[in-house]
Chain A
Amino acid sequence: MAEQTAKRPVSVPVMADLAARGESPEILFWVGCAGAFDDRYKRVTRAFVRILDHVGVNYAVLGKEESCTGDPAKRAGNEFLFQMQAMANIATLDGYGIKKVVTACPHCFNTIKNEYPALGGEYEVIHHSTFLQQLINEGKVKAEGGESFKGRRITFHDSCYLGRANDIYEAPRAVLEVLDADLVEMKRCKTNGLCCGAGGAQMWKDAEPGNKEVNIERTEEALATLDGTAAVLDNLRGVESNAPAGPASAKAAGGSVIAVACPFCMTMMADGVKNKEREQDVQVFDLAELIASAEGLNA
């Protein structure tokens, strides 16, 4: 903490400016609509950019030239709108000769990586969880010098479009490992992870009639896991439990964390925590925020 003496402004490189100077970045950071407009997720975008800036990655963003990948349109069945968006974006990316894309949004990640190639857009696409894991493995990020998460209880909520959709389960966990926190897994994790309720364009509509909201179901599971009561609940239901027993020892110091790696999971889990009136002791953070904060990059 003591070595954090000064702050300096970050000027985010915009692709059009680089192109005007005849430069090309090593990697394009695809911000995504939530990363650009959602007040909560803008903080994740800023945290990720601080990391990029800190380690000296040669990157750029599209800025105002970026447009929705078309993911919500495609999941909702509007293939026409999806392809319009996709082809316009491909034209932009190809116009700049982009080869490699990093994004913090699993939906943008999945769409650009898996669905743009059929429309002519071929890029190396990586999710920020994988990118952060690489930075950690290369020793460029040590998660030192900032906030300590040592001993704090953290549970990771798998995003469907990262996990089942693209088989990325280990990278986000490897990123969290570096925090030296008390990582606990929810019973429904990895391939069995329960959706936050926002995918498939649900983010933009009310849920159909039912007896519960999906994000409440998931938040209850996350809270029970963090509180150490999941095992008790499992016992009551007569199932074998692998959940940790007992409350977190360092619960008082800083509280527990639900870690996410998706803007929509962020919204749903944060709403769930608010609904359960647990904002005082449970926070929802994206991986990039946790790393930027542990690295002492916030200013």
Chain B
Amino acid sequence: MHFSIQNIIFLLVALAGFGLFAWQASRIRANVLQGRERDMSGHVNERLWKTLLVAFGQQKMFKRLTPAFLHLIVYVGFIVINIEVIEIMVDGLFGTHRFLQFAGPAYSALTGTNEVLGALVIVAVAAFWWRRNANVVKRFTGPEMRAWPKMDGNIILYVEVVLMAALFLMNTADLKAHQLQNLSMPGAFPVSQFLTGLLPDSVPVLHMLERVGWWAHIVGILLFLNYLPSSKHFHIIMAFPNVFFSRLIPQGQFSNVESITHEVKAMMDPNYAVPAPATNPDGSVVAPTPFGAKDVDDLAWTNLLNAYSCTECGRCTSVCPANITGKLLSPRKIIMDTRDRMEEKYNAPLIFSPALYGAEAKHDPQEQLDKENHTLLRGYVTPEELWACTTCNACVEACPVNINPLDSIIEMRRFLVLEESAAPNALNAMFSNIENNGAPWAFSPSDRFNWADDLFVAEKGEVEVGH
């Protein structure tokens, strides 16, 4: 154990890194809690099981095999290599060197696995980069994939390569320094053993390079951790709570608006007692919330959690019947808009520069929005997008982390219809048909049973057998 100034510096760096992340996480939590209440308690076992399958087990990724395998490599690499980060933390704090080496063969298995995974991660990341930048995969394009989301996607890939390179620099330099001094090196290094020729033959330089690799790896991880809240890569954390709190009810079941239930019951039954409105601590009545959603805080907290879990992969948009046929609607855009608006209205992440969203204006330039209307609805999402939805649930089904864009779409439709009476004319006609005729078409209710007129069934001869 060589306790030195390095350990003090490491302690300070680690505290700063984790402290900054904790502060960022608390700000994100506050943003999510701006959403409306929705009871997602109970069914813990069912939720844990689903989290195990969908989030931990990547179940829905395997609908598309090529990206599933590439993603699995990076994901497993992330998890396994982070075991080594535990060692780095201990070494950094206490001045030990490869403290896990006491595990003997198990340590060799760990370091060996790490090296193989590290190399595979670099290969997978290269493939991801190709898919993302060579126009191979259509779903990585689209109007919402502006300058920042595109840059973000690449930054993540570059950082992953740098982290892996740092790991190999550390291992190779350490291994070669041991070899030059005829010392036995703990662990197995199936990749680094082939890289020793690339490094100089000076033991002091190798020691320095090993330190450079070590510091680059851990500082890189801490920087990356604090980059996550500004990035789509935040999904590596948020996917787990998002899947855990996702809906367990059938996808076809839309939420019930309880305040409307009370109103309708009171209309149908004059004796129905509408519950008293909630009151503030000072006794004043809490202002009623609008029907549906105009802005992010009108959505449920789970919808806001969705926005932080999105990795912008575009599977939702690529299966959306409206999007496929050239309509404006893109479920991914609804989710990305929700996050952008949340970060604009409430706590912004460290990197938040709407200028980076590119030359294309985020807002409809034809519509000069005053402050009142600069909201999620109209400020970001246009009614044209919302009305193109067929509520088919393809986006919900496609999302690997159980995001539900349909839920948010319906909430905004509710606001348009119930608060603004702004439904398309044809739908207003449908509404009045239901009100007046009990059917969405203009048919008379007295004709409803005409289908049964002159109805015959063929008598089948076999019925007579035995009589």
Interface residues, chain A, with chain B CB atoms under 8 Å away:
2-10, 12, 14, 31, 33, 35-38, 42, 45-46, 49-50, 53-54, 61, 63-64, 66-68, 70, 72-81, 83-85, 87-88, 91, 110, 114-115, 118-119, 145, 160-161, 164-167, 191-195, 197-214, 216-218, 296-299
Residue from A54, A76, A194, A298 within 8 A of B427 (CB atoms)? A76
Quote the shortest CB–CB distance from A7 to chain B (angstroms).
4
A114-B250, A165-B393 as given contacts; A81 in contact with B457, CB under 8 Å: no
| Cross-chain contact B434 with A81 (CB below 8 angstroms) | yes
A49-B452, A72-B440 as given contacts; A208 in contact with B329, CB under 8 Å: yes
Q: Which of B15-23, B160-168, B200-208, B254-262 contacts A (4 or more CB under 8 A)?
A: B254-262
Quote the shortest CB–CB distance from B272 to chain A (angstroms).
11
A7-B456, A72-B434, A76-B417 as given contacts; A199 in contact with B253, CB under 8 Å: no
Measured as residues with beta carbon below 8 angstroms from the partner, the interface class of chain B is: 35 or more
Task: Write out the residue numbers on chain B whose beta carbons fall within 8 Å of the beta carbon of A5.
Answer: 459, 461
Task: Write out the residue numbers on chain B whose beta carbons fall within 8 Å of the beta carbon of A76.
Answer: 413, 417, 423, 427, 430-431
| Cross-chain contact B254 with A160 (CB below 8 angstroms) | no
B222 in the interface (beta carbon within 8 A): no
Interface residues, chain B, with chain A CB atoms under 8 Å away:
63, 249-254, 256-257, 260-261, 263-265, 267-268, 291-292, 319, 321-322, 324-329, 384, 387-394, 396-397, 410, 412-418, 423-424, 426-427, 429-431, 434-435, 438-441, 443, 445-452, 455-462
A3-B462, A202-B390, A206-B426 as given contacts; A212 in contact with B326, CB under 8 Å: yes
| Cross-chain contact A79 with B291 (CB below 8 angstroms) | yes
Quote the shortest CB–CB distance from A47 to chain B (angstroms).
10
Task: Write out the residue numbers on chain B whose beta carbons fall within 8 Å of the beta carbon of A297.
Answer: 457-458, 460
| Cross-chain contact A72 with B327 (CB below 8 angstroms) | no
Residue from A87, A201, A210 within 8 A of B322 (CB atoms)? A210
Task: Write out the residue numbers on chain A whose beta carbons fall within 8 Å of the beta carbon of B449.
Answer: 12, 14, 36, 61, 63-64
| Cross-chain contact B427 with A201 (CB below 8 angstroms) | yes
Residue from A38, A64, A209 within 8 A of B327 (CB atoms)? A209
Q: A211 CA to B253 CA in the complex, in Å?
A: 31
Task: Write out the residue numbers on chain A whose beta carbons fall within 8 Å of the beta carbon of B250.
Answer: 110, 114, 165-167
A68-B434, A76-B430, A77-B418 as given contacts; A192 in contact with B392, CB under 8 Å: no
Task: Write out the residue numbers on chain A whose beta carbons fall within 8 Å of the beta carbon of B392.
Answer: 160, 164, 195, 199-200
| Cross-chain contact B423 with A36 (CB below 8 angstroms) | no
| Cross-chain contact B388 with A7 (CB below 8 angstroms) | no
